[in-house]
Structure 1
Amino acid sequence: MTKSKGLYHLALAGVLCAVGIIIPMFMPIKLVLDPMSFTLASHVAIFLALFISPSVGIAVSLGTTLGFLIGGFPLPVVLRAFTHVIWAAIGAFYLQKHPELLDFKQSVPGRSLKLFGLGAVLGLIHAVAETCVCIPIYFGQGMSGSELVRILLLLVFVGSFVHSMVDYVLSLLIWKPVSGTMRKAAV
């Protein structure tokens, strides 16, 4: 990586970290289903970062996690944010091997289906990781089995998957017009 490209990626990561921290704090569109809350577009910065490169995707995931920690968010929220590193890295490395999927100037057969599949896989990884983090948090708090299933399966797993897919689609809607203005990798 050239010095110029590295600085460019560092600047993009910094801006996306800031966006990723600010959205959950100030976004008025939130769905709160105790004990979970889902904030529209809270994953958009991470998706945009993983569209750029693996290092930017990982950096933004770590940066937003640190932002939640410093911002005083509850530990379950911080730990759930930390799991974003997993799916961001997987998605970014996949896209590094298949950059044509995000090059909308290029004709790619089955692009929509491939992008949907990528979003679904990342959404499943996202949901599984967040559910795994929440199991020890909610287990043993005196909840009934049905209450645990409602929280872990319905709210955390299904909620995280749906939330991930909505934010993924928003990210693609932003990326498509912006990607043509991004500096090329050869810089």
Structure 2
Amino acid sequence: MNKTRKRLTLLTTTALLTALAILIPQVMPKIVIPPASFTLASHVPIMIAMLISPLAAVVVSLGSALGFLISGLPIEITFRAATHVIFALIGATFLWRHKSYTHGVKFQIFNVVIALIHTLAEVAIVYLLLTVGFSHLAGRNLGSLLLILSIGGFVHSLIDFNIALFLARAINKVYPLDIFKDELEK
């Protein structure tokens, strides 16, 4: 694939993943326990983008935050979505340098570390919003809110990244993006 075609393919793929990231908060089933919301597959486009490049991951993360903003969910949930840029950039940068972490046990270790970063960023922003009184939830039981958010968010992240990896592998077989370049060369 020539350089121009490859760039166009990456741009198109990033645009499609961004569109999905904006659409998912509007249409997918969700459980909302403010400040937590667990939207089915909401991280999947971001996590697929992490397998492509750091720039794709950041763009798709910003699209996801926009999707949550226009979804009508409480503002804390939009702020949580905005923190996805952090784990997406860290994870994508690591994967960009260490492609072997998209396989087996290494992937699951990576997934746990990324889920921890993801969860800590979300808990930190919610804690900040609640403690400065910006949130309409200020004054509620902070400990239980953060417990629901942290445990639920951690599990949600783990599940979504496994779904993302499965889908990325399936897509890559029919629409090669060099995501799993070493697999294609075998």
Name the TM-score, length of structure 2 as normaliser: 0.83
Q: CA deviation at 1:90?
A: 1.0
Q: In structure 2, which of residues 170, 182, 185 is the aligned counterpart of residue 177 of structure 1? A: 170
Match of 2:184 in 1: none
Cα distance, 1:34 vs. partner? Answer: 4.1
Cα distance in 2 for residues equivalent to 1:34 and 1:64: 18
Question: 1: CA distance between counterparts of 2:78 and 2:69?
Answer: 6
**1:91-102 aligned within 5 A:** 91-102=91-102
Distance in 2 separating the partners of 1:64 and 1:151: 23
Task: Kindly provide the amino acid, as one letter, of the partner of residue 21 in structure 1.
Answer: I
Question: Which amino acid is the alignment partner of residue 138 of structure 1?
Answer: L
Q: Which runs of 4+ in 1 moved over 6 A?
A: none
Equivalent residue for 2:139? Answer: 142
Flag structure 1 segments of 5+ consecutive residues without an equivalent: 103-110
Is 1:12 equivalent to 2:4 in the alignment?
A: no
Cα offset, 1:170, TM superposition: 1.0
1:38 alignment partner, SS class: strand
Point out where structure 2 has 5 or more consecutive residues left out of the alignment: 182-186
TM-score (norm 1): 0.83
Aligned CA distance change for structure 1 residues 118 and 101 (closer, same or farther; 3 Å): closer
Report sequence identity in percent. Answer: 39
What amino acid does structure 2 have at the position aligned with 1:85? V
What is the CA deviation profile of residues 8-65 of structure 1, one whole-angstrom value per residue up to 9, with x for unaligned ones? 211111100111121221113x223344220121100000111111111111111222
The answer to whether 1:156 aligns with 2:153 is no
Matched, 1:40 2:40: yes
